[in-house]
Every structure is written in structure tokens, then in C-alpha cells.
Chain A
Amino acid sequence: MPEATYLDANELVINMGPQHPATHGVLRVKLRLDGERVLGTECIIGYLHRGVEKIAENRTYVQFAPYVDRMDYVAAVTNGMGYCEAVEKLMGVELPPRAQYTRMILAELQRIASHLLWLGTHALDIGAMTPVFYTFREREEILKIFENYCGARLTTHAFRIGGLQYDLYDGFEKDATKFCDYLLPKIDEYEELLSTNRIWMNRTKKVGVLSGKDAIALGVTGPVLRGSGVKWDIRKVQPYEAYDKVEFEIPTGQNGDTYDRYIVRIQEMRQSVRIIRQSVERLAPGPIFGKVGKVIKPPAAEVYHSIEAPKGELGYFVVSDGSTHPYRVRVRPPSFVNLEALDIMSRGHLVADIVAIIGTLDIVLGEVDR
């Protein structure tokens, strides 16, 4: 006799996404629920897969550069920076200081923009609908600076392999400093709205706890790792550009919960402002390109280079066969790795917490799926 199939009445499988207001794009999460309690999650990704890595094999090094902007489309500048640096490392090119500081300023502005976007959407997920408009207002100022610099706002393609395409426009230094002065009180305003808000604290404290040990084991990076109390920032441990010449601190959390990650990101914005101020002071007139030939043709070798993107460690593994086309490019996207932590963080929590946890991981599906 065949075994009778029965329905487990205690378990409800619910499909969250790929079209859902709070999954930040086309993430699909299969939730197994007991009432409101989450028994387990399963992420199904690939809805935004565009084969970025494969495209690289059919493009020259220069042609491929704009494609990386479309991975983490809310932090295009840092994405482009990582790629350019990886190829520069392959060719052994040293950048002049003006190019380095320019890259740092723009990258830190991008970090602030990315964190602002995260803060707004995260708060929106938890039900506070106002911060998103405030953070977008501030983000707009950053996008204006990008637009003035390179003509694009979102997918900037701001840098070129070996340096910068454009020198800074007149008044850039003033714009950057003015923005720093403008931003700091605004961050205080967000904190006033959220940091001590009882409902906000109830919703984020002890939610999605990730211990430092688990975080390291899963390989998560960026603010998610630092929120768990691990002091790890590529800018400090493997300095690139001129990050070893500026002073800044690495904010860390203690409990590894959603609230700590929120505080870490808020503090990081303040640290970014510090870096921008110092870099602007050190901007001296000079060349903006290192010694690269007209044709980018790196020697046959392979290289892994990683930078601290707003969302964590963004690594590029580039294999060159000595031609003008990369033999293979592999990206280590922070969002993809951080998303692995969703299951362990959300078990035993409620449905509403899933939304908070997806928000706190700060994922961008363009980067997860590539």
C-alpha cells in the first residue's frame, strides 16, 4: 500500500518575491512558517542574471569597464574603482596622488550615497515612511557632484584604467566640503528620528543576531561583519589608493543585531566625511594618469584585488592571457556572500523580521545575480 500523503498543518510555505515591495529587487525567498514564526528560508536568485562575467571575455579591458557599474548600481563609483585597480595591479601601474585622492573622494561620496539609500529603504521596510525622502534629498546632492564631474549620475563610469578620464571641475573642492558641512547635521537628524525611537529599537534590537564567529565562517564582510564586532576593513588592513595616508576609524558593533548594523553604517557615514575632508585638503595640482600605453594589454598573469565597497569586500579576480581581452573575470560581490547569512539570521524570528533582516543585509540584486 502506498504511504498516505498528508498535509503538515503546522507548516506554511510562503513565497516572498520576486515581486515583493520589500525584497529590494527581484530576490525570491521561500519561507517556511509556523504561524508567524520562521522555520527556515531559502533564497532563489538569478532573476537579474545578465552574465556580466561572461561578457568580460568578449570585450577589451577598456570596453568592459562600464559593465561593472551595472552590478551594484547604487554604488557604481566603487565598483568601477575596484575593476580599474585590479587591472592596474595586473599591469603594475602606479597612480599619481591627484588621481588617488580624487578616486577616494568620489568613492567615499558614493559610500555615503549608498548608505543613505540603505537607511531610507531600511526604515521604509520597518514602516517609517519619512526618512526615505530625507535621505534621497541628501543623496541628490551627491549625485549632482557626480553629474558635474563626469556627466552621469548613477552609472558613472567615473574612472579609467590608469587614472581619470577628466580632471576635477572648478569648484569641486568647494562642493565636496559644502556637502560635508551639510550632511553632518542631517545625520544627527536621522538619528533623532530613529536611534532612540522606542518602536525602532524594539524592531531592530536582538533581531537578526549574527555572532562574530558565524559572520567570519560565512564570509560576510562590510558593515554586516563589523556590526558583529569584528574589526575588519580592507581600507585599513590592505590599504589601496591613499587610504593609509588619511585618518579614520572603523566603527564596530557589539551584539551583531540589526540595531548595531544600523549604528555602524551611520558612523561610517561620519567617517567618510572625515576622509573626504582630509583628501580634499591634500588635492594638489598634478597629473591624473599613470604610465599606461594607448592599448591596455596586461602581461599574462592573474590577479585578485579587493576593495571595501559600501556593502563589503568587493573583489575582482582577473586572468590575463597577454591579449587585449581578459581571459576570465570573476567578481566577488559582497551582497551575494552577505545574503548567505539570511537563513541563519532569520530562523526563529517572525515574518516582519525577515523584512528587517533583508534590509539590514543591504543587498543589491544586480550584484547578487550579476
Chain B
Amino acid sequence: MALSSDTLFLLGVAVVKVVVVLLVLLTAIAYIVWLERKLVAHIQSRWGPYRVGPYGLMQPMADGLKFLFKEDIVPLEVDRFVYWLAPFLSFTLAMLTFAVIPFGGSFKLFGHEIYLQIADLNVGLLYIFAVTSLGVYSIALAGWSSNSKYPLFGGLRSSAQMISYELSLGLAVVGTLMISGSLSLRDIVNSQTGTWHLAGTNTFLPHWNIFVQPVGFIVYFIAAIAETNRIPFDLPEGETELVGGYHTEYSSFKFAMFFMAEYANMVTVSCIATLLFFGGWHGPVFGPAWLHVLLPVFWFALKVFCFLFFYIWTRGTLPRFRYDQLMAFGWKFLLPVALLNILATSFVVAWIGT
């Protein structure tokens, strides 16, 4: 059976979208590393990278090349297959989540409506949680297969940590789901169009979920930092305790994959925070038609950037939690708060309707 030209066209569009998203994402990850180094440097009254290109802008390329050319050391006693698998798993899963993240509205091309999103799953959010929770395997496997004590510690810590905080992370967003009544990320964003009307008057506050779900957002954001293993929750790799944590025994590009996965996860959680609580790509739109397509993408990127900035800022400021304190905080504080938030939201939703 020959494929119709329509199908071929849509297939082509999908491939183009995948390639573009992948390229943009990999570049973004490289430049988030640059941004982090620059920002943290300025927080610490240093200059940061400035030798490679203007403002050190070529530094990510130099770093990438360095990783490529480094000798790939595989310790003798490792479980070879799993040792290889872990970094690939980590990186692949981090990339997979972007399949369902919408980063803009839609536009018409040759009579077809093209959405700025690779795939609009009707269970997009569930898909993201499913994929990110698989990420714990890569870390646990890396820690286990290295056959060394420090990585084992890192792997154990991080499995426990990610499983604990995954709960709060998942429960924190339930409130927004109840309000929008959908699991599709595009629908959730579209439910946040316009402004809030209070008792019939326009408040000019954007119709974002953050204004009705502040508790949910705070719980989500704290859990997200823990989920991505960033300071103050970076115990799995806490370098002053566990040397390098789960990736102590990794070198060369296998290490780079863990590294990129961490930053990709940072982008993922920032994207989800933007989509669920800050109205996604919604923002002031004006000008000609092409600007109507590009401006939303810009607003989306700007919001994500703000979150990333906050992440880096936190890293420059706070010390690290201790393992037991981290667990206590997750189970005894975040989880109950997230549950109470669900309870309160469900009562309100039942009372005034969606």
C-alpha cells in the first residue's frame, strides 16, 4: 500500500521536529553548563570561563571535545554490560521526556495544523513521570556495577532519595490535574489561557495555576531539585563525602552522558513547572503572524530560563543536607503537605466545579 502524500508530509514534519528538538536541546544543555559556570562564578566573585571565544562562549564545545578525547577507563572488576548500560539509559531516558513537552502553540503549513510539540499524548504527564522514574535505574545500576564502595553508597542513597521524592513530586501536581481535568500537557496549558476574574472583575492576573496552587508549586519545586540531585539535595554525588558518588568510576564520554542527563533533567523539571504552574507558552502576543508563532516559544523559553536561573542561584548559596535529614524532610514534611494540598483542592473543585 502506497502512503498518501498527506501521511508522508506529516511523517516528514515529525522527523524534522524530532531533529530540531534534539539539536536545540543538546545545545541548550551545553549552554546551561556554560550559564551555570558563569553565574556561579559571578556569585563567587570570579569571572568564570572567558578564554575560549568571547565570554567563554565556546567553552561547551571545548568541554565536549575534551570528554570525547579522554581515555575511557573501565575498571577491572566491573559488571561490563551493566556498567555500559547505565550511562546510556540515563541519557536516553532524559532525552525521551522531551517527546511530549509542548513548547508553543500551532501554525498552519500547506493546509495542515502543525503543533509545536513532538507528540501530544493524552497521558503526557503520566508518561513523563514514568520515564523519569525509570531514571533511578541508571543511577542504581551505575552504583552497583562499578563494584566499588563509594559508587555503591551513591547508588543506594540516590535510589532511596529519588523514590522518596518522586512521591511528593507526583502528588504535588495532582492539584493542577484536578483543576484542568486532563493529563495532556497541551490541554493543561490551554486551561490557563486568559486572566483571573474575581467576582466578575478582571484582575489582570494571568490565569496561571500558580495563583491557585502555590503550595503545590512549592512542593513540586523542592521535590524537583531533589529529583535532579542538585544542591542542597546532591547527596548521591556529594563530592566531599562520596568523592563522585555513583559516577566515581566513570570516565570520558560515559561520564559526560551522566553529566548531560543531569542537565537535561533540570530542563525537564523546569519545563514541567512552566507548563503546569506558569501557563506554558502564554504571554503577551502581538505583531505579524510569524511573531504570533514565535513569541509563545520565546515566553516558554524565558520562563524555563527563570527556573534554571533559580536552580543555579540555589547552588551558589546553600550547603548540603544530610541523608537522614533529607529523608525526614521528604517523608515528614513534603509528603503530608502534598497530600493536604490534594485534599483541599479536591474539596474546592467539588464545591465550585471545575
Contact = CB atoms under 8 A, between A and B. Distances in A.
Contacts of A12: 149
A216 interface: no
A199 B318 contact: yes
Interface size class of A (residues with CB under 8 A): 20 to 34
Nearest to A351: B241
A39 interface: no
Given A133-B46, A134-B45, A199-B232, A126 B319 contact: yes
Interface in B316-342: 316-325
Contacts of A202: 321-322, 325
B85 to A, nearest CB: 25
B324 A127 contact: no
User: Does more than half of chain B's interface fall in helix, strand or loop, or is it mixed?
Assistant: helix
Contacts of B325: 202-203
A36 B235 CA distance: 12
Given A20-B243, A199-B318, A200-B319, A134 B238 contact: no
Nearest to A201: B319
Contacts of A15: 149
Interface string B169-204: 000000000000000000000000000000000000
Interface string B284-325: 000000000000000000000000000000011111111111
Contacts of B150: 14
A21 B316 contact: no
A101 B320 CA distance: 42
A127 B319 contact: yes
Contacts of A36: 153, 323-324
Nearest to A19: B243
Interface string B140-162: 00000000011001000000000
B7 interface: no
Given A21-B239, A133-B44, A351-B153, A197 B318 contact: yes
Contacts of A129: 40, 44, 231, 315-316
A351 B235 CA distance: 11
Interface in B231-289: 231-232, 234-235, 238-243
Interface size class of B (residues with CB under 8 A): 20 to 34
A199 B321 CA distance: 6
A130 interface: yes
Contacts of A355: 240-241
Given A21-B239, A123-B319, A130 B44 contact: yes
Interface string A57-94: 00000000000000000000000000000000000000
Nearest to B322: A352
B158 to A, nearest CB: 13
User: Does more than half of chain A's interface fall in helix, strand or loop, or is it mixed?
Assistant: helix
Contacts of A126: 240, 319-320
A124 B46 CA distance: 16
B43 A130 contact: yes
Given A128-B318, A130-B317, A21 B323 contact: no
Nearest to B324: A350
A118 to B, nearest CB: 15
A38 interface: no
Contacts of A354: 241
B237 to A, nearest CB: 11
A92 B173 CA distance: 78
A306 to B, nearest CB: 33
Given A20-B243, A199-B321, A127 B149 contact: no
A134 B322 CA distance: 24
Interface string B198-239: 000000000000000000000000000000000110110011
Nearest to B325: A202
A262 to B, nearest CB: 12
Contacts of A200: 319
B241 A352 contact: yes
A20 B45 CA distance: 27
Interface of B: 40, 43-46, 149-150, 153, 231-232, 234-235, 238-243, 315-325
20 contacts: A12-B149, A15-B149, A36-B323, A127-B238, A127-B240, A127-B319, A128-B317, A129-B44, A129-B315, A129-B316, A130-B43, A130-B44, A133-B45, A134-B45, A194-B319, A199-B232, A199-B319, A200-B319, A352-B322, A353-B322
